[in-house]
Structures are given as structure tokens and as C-alpha cells.
């Protein structure tokens, strides 16, 4: 006797009455002849292509103004996030909604993966709907509105001096921005207060995605009412726009020809908080590049807006150069794109270069910085809103008989190259520092820098893990002075050379990175540990009026005699690239403003620990 097979339960067919939605919507405007049903068909086709959907049912609702919403329910199978290569699948149920109300298209999705696919479709040339522009959203939701939370992302080059990103909260942040510290930050997302249904409601907006969110709602009917209210705000803006609703921070530009000389490039870390809410495809790409590639920008900067990247592949710890990519930023359909060219691909390596090239298909994932004071970040191009105060901590020095392109001595036939510091005819910047300290100066800011008495000591700490290139210790006017001196060769020795931010950027970052050493206790500990492994570090002291070599351990022993309560710390950067005449004649240039901002930020960091910061540059 056979046992009858129980009937299988029918697949449920959900309706919008079942949804308890979180109100988050993307706004669009038609750019061609398109109806709601035609747009829904195109979205279904794209999702079918990307995610192999199984369609379950659809529902239709009418908005208060007579607009219509169509909701499509689906399911799809995919590997679980915790086992992407296991061969097993799990089923996810979801929906997307597309509405047309008050003249605006409204997209609403159940998950980030679906929203990413919709956003990619909005960016394509085949879809007759475009996102509402940033400028329109600025006017509708930011101008004359209270700003309660803002997420700032730095459009400056990554530096130890300033945070990559930060969040501010308050009752209304317009008066809370720091005109100096916040000028090199921009924003893409914020929370504020807006009047909806005769009540002040907290809202959030992501400007690049044209995405506005409120909070979790009680019912689908409540969602339709909120969509009507939000699109009414857009409609009441009557096409008015604002490119810079917050005048302290930086804002996007449209004329990409203004950007000149890209000097740095990076991609987001997929495991950090800098790239939230990414779909699986983008996260997988970022992790592949992070694991398998290294990259850098060629040192010879070209005065155009092309981002040039040298690509290296990593294989079992081995690093091999595979080729270059030249990526030209362009604005197409109001969105940033890159027109890429592969250059100098190595034999058999074109596939690896093309794999890295994929990152430029996603402009929101890359960052680049320009000498002209511009940046590419967050899928946009920005001009830093510099309100730079002048930097007054520059000591203008002469560099006679010195090759300012040569940082260190060349190694001798016998012995270490550092033993050549200060030798007859040696023309490196290291030797210049040594001789300058022997001469001393009457400049009040640097009067403690000398090698004239038994209180004066000097150590060259150059090498991996260095505290600084030189450490100088002295007691002057009954105060102990500890000075960290960092040296960097100029990018050019031509008398026609201009201001270069990148020439200073690396050495200033190096100086600030070791800022934790600006206490007597920690620097003695650090130097003691280093010298135990590198006792050959050259050091000098003064005996009977003459500067003589001493053991590096003697330098540390001398520091141990100091009273920590009377130690004054200093950071000095020697970078002769900057010419006094150019610096003074270019006070209104972007490069001058950018350099002053960098220097003031470094000085602020050092001052926070009770120290002083000085740049040594070229008198002529």
C-alpha cells in the first residue's frame, strides 16, 4: 500500500499590506519618454540579469496626488556571506517598488544589493531616468534647514595630521564648523530636520545616490504618505538649486579641466567604515585588489587631470610590476566616469592589469588628489574650500655648496655612508644640517640649535623605524630642548621651480607619525631600544670647544640626566624645495593655500603636545 504524497504548500504571494517598511527612497527624474510600467520592466530585466530572480507577485497602489506605485516581489538564491565558495545556497526574499508621484520617480528596495543594482541602472545610458541632482537636493533639504548630524570625508591626501573622516552632531552644525580644520572636508550624507505633515521630522540624505531616508514606518499606507510629502518638498523647490549650501566645507566641481597634476591615489578599504553599505560585488573587488595588488603614482607629475597609476601584482610575497593605467575623469550624464588606457603592460600580464582596471568602473571606490587643490573622492570631483591662514613658522636658509636633490651622503668604499656626514666636500642635506648646527643661528626661534658647548648633543637616527633623521639635545637658558629634525630632498633644483605640496607632504607625515615621541620619557626609551640594535648610529658632542664623534649610547645617557619637567620639544622639517620669492609672490594661489593648510595643521598637532614646528626652506 503506497503512502500518498502530501500536497506541497503553495508559494505565498505577499502584498504591500504585509510590508512594514523602513522609509528609504531614491529620487529620479525622466530624461526621455518613459512610463511607470516601462520603467518597472527595465528594472526587472536588470535584476534578472544580475541576480537571477524568481518573480513571485506584484501589487499596485495609488498615491494621494493620483500617482501610482508598483511593487514587485521576488526570491533569489545565492551563496551565504560566510561561505561564498562552499557550493551551498540560501534563499532570500525581497521586493522593489517604483512609483511616479508629483512628477518624480521614487525607487524603494528591500536590500542594499537590490538598491546597488538600481543605482547602477540609473547610471547607465540605456535607462531614461536619472537621479535627482545633488544641487536640487541641496536646495530642497539643506538650504535653511537645521543640520543635526553630518558625516565628513577628507578630500585632503591621507595624512597623520588630519582624520580621514569624522562625524559631527549638534542642534544645528552651521556654526560649529572650524573654518581652518574643516575646510578640506566635504560631505555626502547628513541628517537634518524637515517639515513633513505639519511636524518637524528627522531625515537623512545621501546626495550622490539621491537617497533620502526617514525611519521605520508602521504601514505601507504611511510609506505612501511620506513619499508624497518628500516629493512635494522637491516640487516646491521649483527647480532652484544650490551648489554650496554649507560655505565652510568643500564642494564638488563640474569643470574637470581645472584639476592639474594628480600626485596620489587610493581605494577604499572594504573592511573599514569609510565604505559602508556596499554590495557584495564591490566588496569582493576591493578585497581582491587589497590582497593581490599594490599601486603607486609615478613621481613625475604632468599638468593635466589624468590619474596615472603604476600597478604591481603580489604572488606569495613576491611583488612584480605589471603595467600602468591612465584614467581620465569625465562627467557623463551628470556622473563621474573614467576613460582608462592601459600603458606599458608587461608580457603576459595584461589580464592582471585589466583586473585592477575594473576599480575605475566604480568611481565611488577611488580617491585621487591634485597639486591644483582638487580631489576625486566619493564619486565626485571637489575643490578644497581653502580659507588658509598664513604660516609664519618658516626659516629661510641658504644652501651654499649643497645639492638640494641629494638627501644623504653616498656610501664610501669602506664603512657606512652615515660616517661621511660633514666630511670635506660632502654636499648632501644631511651634511648641511650638521654644518648648520655647528654654525648656529641668531634666529630667536632656532637659537637653541647649536653645537657650541658640552650641553649640545646630536644623533643621526636615519634608518628603518627612525624617530627622525637627526635628534638634537641641548640646555639653553636653563631649559632642556629636544629637537627632532626631518630632512627631505627637493623635487627640483631649478630656480624657476614652483610651490609643490607633494614635496612637503611625505616628510611632514613622517614627522607627525612620530609625534608620540615628543616626550622625554618615550624618546629615551625608543632611542635606547633602537641603539641596542644599531649601535653604529653616528653621534656627536662638544669637548673643549670642538665637535667630536661619540658613542650613540652616550647621547641616551645624557638625556637620562634631564629633568622631564623642563623639556621643551621641537619638530623641524628641512625641505629646500620652497623658494622664498615664489612663496611670497604666490600668496593667492591654490598651491600656496594648500601648503599653508598642511603646515598649519602640522603646527597645530605639535603645539597640542607643547612643542613648536618649523619649516626650513630656501632663501634663494
List, for residues 382-419, the tens digit of each pLDDT value.
887 776 688 999 999 999 999 999 999 877 655 556 77
Q: Are residues 87 and 143 in the same domain?
A: yes
**372's grid cell:** 591644483
Q: Tell me what the mean pLDDT of segment 101-105 comes to.
A: 92
Q: What is the pLDDT of residue 325?
A: 97
In this structure, the answer to whether residues 365 and 511 fall within a common structural domain is: no
In this structure, the answer to whether residues 406 and 430 fall within a common structural domain is yes
Q: Is residue 7 domain-resident?
A: no
Shared-domain flag, residues 405 and 361: no
Angle at 32 between CA 28 and CA 34, to 5 degrees: 75
Query: With 60 as the cut, is the pLDDT of residue 545 above it?
Result: yes
Q: Is it the case that residue 61 has pLDDT exceeding 50?
A: yes
SS3 helix, strand, coil % of the chain, rounded to 5? 30, 35, 40
Based on the domain organization, do 231 and 257 belong to the same domain? no
Residue 453, by phi and psi: left (phi above 0), alpha (psi -120 to 50) or beta? beta
Residue 454: all three cell numbers together:
658640552
pLDDT for the residue 564: 66
CA–CA dist 410, 393 (Å, integer) = 31
CA angle 239, 245, 247 (to 5 degrees): 150
Rounded distance, CA 442 to CA 493, Å? 27
- Position 5 in a domain: no
CB-CB neighbours of 480 under 10 Å: 21
pLDDT, residue 358, reads 95
In 3D space, the residue among 103, 115, 87, 435 whose CA is nearest the CA of residue 282 turns out to be: 115
Condensed to tens digits (0 to 9), the pLDDT of residues 421-447 reads 988 889 999 999 999 999 999 888 898
- Please choose, from the candidates 461, 458, 454, the residue with its C-alpha nearest in 3D space to the C-alpha of residue 435: 458
Range of the domain at 488: 394-618
What integer pLDDT is reported at residue 274 of this predicted model?
43
Sheet order of strands, 335-343 included: 293-296, 307-315, 318-332, 335-343
Same domain, 264 and 124: no
pLDDT score recorded for residue 594: 80
Q: Are residues 273 and 138 in the same domain?
A: no
Question: Residue 482: which residues within 8 A CB-CB, separation 6 or more?
Answer: 471, 472, 473, 518, 520, 523, 559, 567, 568, 569, 570
Tell whether 57 and 169 lie within a shared domain. Answer: yes
**What span, in angstroms and rounded, lies between the C-alpha atoms of 49 and 554?**
72
> What average pLDDT does range 328-353 have in this prediction?
92
The predicted pLDDT at position 522 comes to: 80
pLDDT-derived band at 4, boundaries 50, 70, 90: low
Could you tell me if 421 and 441 lie in one domain? yes
Cα separation, 479 vs 190, in Å, equals: 49
- On whether both 556 and 487 belong to a single domain, the answer is yes
User: Among residues 383, 416, 444, which one ends one of the domains?
Assistant: 383
Q: Quick check: 11 pLDDT over 70?
A: no
8-state DSSP, 354: H
CB 154 within 8 Å of CB 252: no
The whole-number pLDDT of residue 211 equals 94
Q: Is the pLDDT of residue 456 over 80?
A: yes
Question: What are the cell numbers at 301?
Answer: 607629475
Give residue 520's pLDDT. Answer: 73
Chain mean position to CA 63: 42
- How high is the pLDDT of residue 6? 60
Q: Is the pLDDT of residue 120 over 50?
A: yes
Q: At what angle do helices 520-533 and 552-559 cross, to 10 degrees?
A: 160
State the chain's mean pLDDT as an integer: 87
Mark whether 235 and 324 lie in a shared domain.
no
The predicted-structure confidence for 136-183, as pLDDT tens digits, reads as follows: 999 999 998 899 999 998 887 676 667 888 999 998 898 888 877 788
Domain boundary among 336, 362, 383: 383
Q: Residue 473: in which H helix or E strand, if any?
A: strand 470-476
Residue 11 lies in a domain: no
Q: How confident is the model at residue 276 (pLDDT cuts 50, 70, 90)?
A: very low
Any residues with CB less than 8 A from the CB of 567 and at least 6 apart, and which? 480, 481, 482, 519, 520
Residue 10 domain-assigned (yes or no): no
- The predicted structure's pLDDT at residue 277: 59
Domain count, the chain: 3
- d(C-alpha 79, C-alpha 22), whole Å: 26
Query: What is the grid cell recorded at 286?
Result: 576591493
Structural domain contains residue 119:
yes
Q: CA 586 to CA 500: how far, in whole Å?
A: 12
The mean pLDDT of 223-243, rounded to a whole number, is 90
Same domain assignment for residues 185 and 43: yes
612 CB burial (10 A radius; 0-12, 13-18, 19+)? middle
Which of 241, 264, 288 is the last residue before a domain boundary?
241
**In a domain? residue 507:** yes
pLDDT, mean of residues 253-275: 79
Q: Give 37's pLDDT tier (boundaries 50, 70, 90).
A: very high
Q: Is residue 127 part of a domain?
A: yes
pLDDT-derived band at 263, boundaries 50, 70, 90: confident
For residue 352, name the pLDDT band (cuts at 50, 70, 90).
very high
248 in any annotated domain: no
Segment 454-463 mean pLDDT? 91
If one counts every other C-beta atom within 10 angstroms of the C-beta of residue 413, the result is 4
Amino acid at each position: 500500500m503506497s503512502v500518498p504524497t502530501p500536497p506541497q504548500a503553495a508559494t505565498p504571494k505577499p502584498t504591500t499590506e504585509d510590508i512594514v517598511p523602513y522609509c528609504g527612497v531614491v529620487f529620479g527624474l525622466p530624461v526621455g519618454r518613459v512610463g511607470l510600467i516601462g520603467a518597472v520592466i527595465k528594472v526587472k530585466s536588470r535584476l534578472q540579469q544580475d541576480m537571477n530572480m524568481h518573480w513571485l507577485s506584484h501589487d499596485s497602489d495609488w498615491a494621494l496626488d493620483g500617482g501610482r506605485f508598483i511593487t514587485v516581489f521576488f526570491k533569489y538564491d545565492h551563496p551565504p556571506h560566510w561561505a561564498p565558495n562552499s557550493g551551498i545556497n540560501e534563499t532570500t526574499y525581497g521586493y522593489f517598488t517604483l512609483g511616479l508621484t508629483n512628477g518624480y520617480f521614487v525607487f524603494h528596495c528591500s536590500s542594499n544589493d537590490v538598491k546597488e543594482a538600481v543605482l547602477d541602472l540609473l547610471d547607465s545610458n540605456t535607462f531614461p531616468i536619472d537621479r535627482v541632482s545633488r544641487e536640487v537636493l541641496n536646495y530642497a533639504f539643506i538650504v535653511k534647514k537645521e543640520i543635526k548630524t553630518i558625516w565628513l570625508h577628507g578630500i585632503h591626501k591621507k595624512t597623520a595630521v588630519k582624520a580621514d573622516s569624522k562625524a559631527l552632531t549638534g542642534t544645528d552644525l552651521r556654526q560649529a564648523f572650524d573654518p581652518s580644520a574643516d575646510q578640506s572636508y566635504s560631505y555626502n550624507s547628513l541628517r537634518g530636520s524637515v517639515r513633513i505633515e505639519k511636524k518637524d521630522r528627522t531625515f537623512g540624505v545621501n546626495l550622490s545616490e539621491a537617497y533620502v531616508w526617514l525611519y521605520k514606518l508602521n504601514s505601507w499606507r504611511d510609506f505612501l504618505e511620506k513619499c508624497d510629502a518628500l516629493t512635494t518638498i522637491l516640487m516646491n523647490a521649483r527647480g532652484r538649486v544650490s551648489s554650496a549650501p554649507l560655505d565652510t566645507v568643500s564642494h564638488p566641481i563640474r569643470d574637470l579641466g581645472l584639476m592639474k597634476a594628480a600626485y596620489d591615489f587610493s581605494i577604499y578599504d572594504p573592511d573599514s567604515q569609510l565604505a559602508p553599505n556596499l554590495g557584495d560585488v564591490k566588496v569582493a573587488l576591493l578585497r581582491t585588489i587589497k590582497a593581490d595588488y599594490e599601486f603607486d603614482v609615478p613621481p613625475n607629475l604632468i599638468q593635466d587631470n589624468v590619474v596615472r597609476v603604476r600597478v604591481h601584482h603580489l604572488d606569495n610575497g613576491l611583488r612584480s610590476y605589471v603595467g600602468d593605467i591612465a584614467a581620465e575623469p569625465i562627467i557623463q550624464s551628470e556622473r563621474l566616469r573614467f576613460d582608462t588606457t592601459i600603458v606599458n603592460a608587461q608580457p603576459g600580464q595584461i589580464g592582471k592589469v585589466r583586473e585592477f582596471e575594473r576599480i575605475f568602473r566604480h568611481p565611488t571606490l577611488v580617491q585621487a588628489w591634485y597639486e591644483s587643490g582638487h580631489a576625486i573622492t566619493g564619486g565626485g570631483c571637489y575643490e578644497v574650500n581653502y580659507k588658509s591662514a598664513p604660516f609664519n613658522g618658516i626659516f629661510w636658509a641658504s644652501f651654499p655648496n649643497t645639492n638640494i636633490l641629494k638627501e644623504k651622503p653616498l656610501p664610501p668604499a669602506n664603512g657606512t655612508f652615515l660616517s661621511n656626514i660633514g666630511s670635506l666636500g660632502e654636499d648632501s642635506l644631511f651634511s648641511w644640517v650638521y654644518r648648520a648646527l655647528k654654525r648656529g643661528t641668531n634666529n630667536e626661534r632656532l637659537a637653541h640649535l647649536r653645537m657650541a658647548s658640552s650641553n649640545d648633543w646630536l644623533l643621526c637616527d636615519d634608518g628603518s623605524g627612525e624617530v627622525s633623521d637627526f635628534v638634537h639635545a641641548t640646555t639653553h637658558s636653563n631649559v632642556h630642548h629636544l629637537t627632532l629634525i626631518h630632512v627631505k630632498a627637493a623635487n627640483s633644483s631649478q630656480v624657476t621651480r614652483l610651490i609643490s605640496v607633494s614635496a612637503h607632504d611625505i616628510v611632514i607625515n613622517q614627522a607627525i607619525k612620530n609625534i608620540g615621541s615628543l616626550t622625554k620619557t618615550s624618546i629615551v626609551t625608543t632611542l635606547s631600544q633602537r641603539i641596542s640594535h644599531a649601535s653604529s648610529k653616528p653621534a656627536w658632542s662638544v669637548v673643549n670647544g670642538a665637535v667630536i664623534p661619540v658613542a650613540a649610547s652616550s647621547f641616551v645617557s645624557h638625556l637620562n640626566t634631564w629633568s622631564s619637567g623642563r623639556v621643551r620639544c621641537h619638530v623641524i622639517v628641512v625641505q629646500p624645495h620652497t623658494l622664498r620669492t615664489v612663496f611670497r609672490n604666490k600668496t593667492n594661489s591654490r598651491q600656496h593655500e594648500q601648503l599653508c593648510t598642511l603646515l598649519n595643521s602640522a603646527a597645530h598637532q605639535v603645539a597640542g603636545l607643547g612643542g613648536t614646528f618649523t619649516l626650513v626652506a630656501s632663501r634663494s
